Structure 1
Amino acid sequence: MKNQFLGIFFYLLYLLAMVRPVLPIIEYYANYDYIATVLCENRDKPYLECNGKCYLEKQLKEVNHDNHEHKSTIPQINLEDYPVSPIDQYGYKISNINTEYLNQVFGINQISSDYYTSILKPPPKLVL
């Protein structure tokens, strides 16, 4: 019984966390008339057709925590001071590569497009 209660409790907490960002939108549509006439910052400018969207935007920013200015206590780590592997410490420079030799060894040839068009032809049209 106790495990079942804990499972339901954590499930409800999860649902609350998922619904939390949507609550200001639900509140906006539920109280649309009040927000548009009383809480809207642009109610004296009807040509903007804000209708309380400024209030909704503020509420969404508050829910999303975009306006917090606290400093993080997590120290910043410079990854260049702590290399993960020693490969970065060694530098390899390849110069004077003979491309003709590589083409012979690996069978890389510069085949022109004429070769492919001579092999890959569309099937002939059937005349009935």
Structure 2
Amino acid sequence: MLLKPISILLLFSLLSANCSSLLVFLGFEANQNYIAKELCENKDKPEMHCNGKCYLMKKLKQAQDKEQKQERQSQKTQIQDALVVKPLVFKQYAFAEINLHVPFSTGMPQSIKNSIFHPPQ
């Protein structure tokens, strides 16, 4: 029952985090008249035909800076996660000593059976 609304909410939050400049632009389009009349930095200069675009550019710059800051922070955490060093444990394994005496005449170890190494019949 609650699975569908929760999944929609999570999907919306993921999309809004990645598309913040799109949300800023949509907010500007929805409130352009108010922004042009009240919040525009150039409202006293009508010959510039700014119509609130200066405010839009400032907000887009803020959103871009925020995204870059979040990206740098996520990269730092990824690097920190990658550099977690677990202590190395060295175990000493005992190997059986192998005494293979190689005679100079045959060039083969004596402990290996000669029945394996024979010419084809």
TM-score range, shorter chain: 0.3 to 0.5
In terms of Rg, which structure is larger? 2
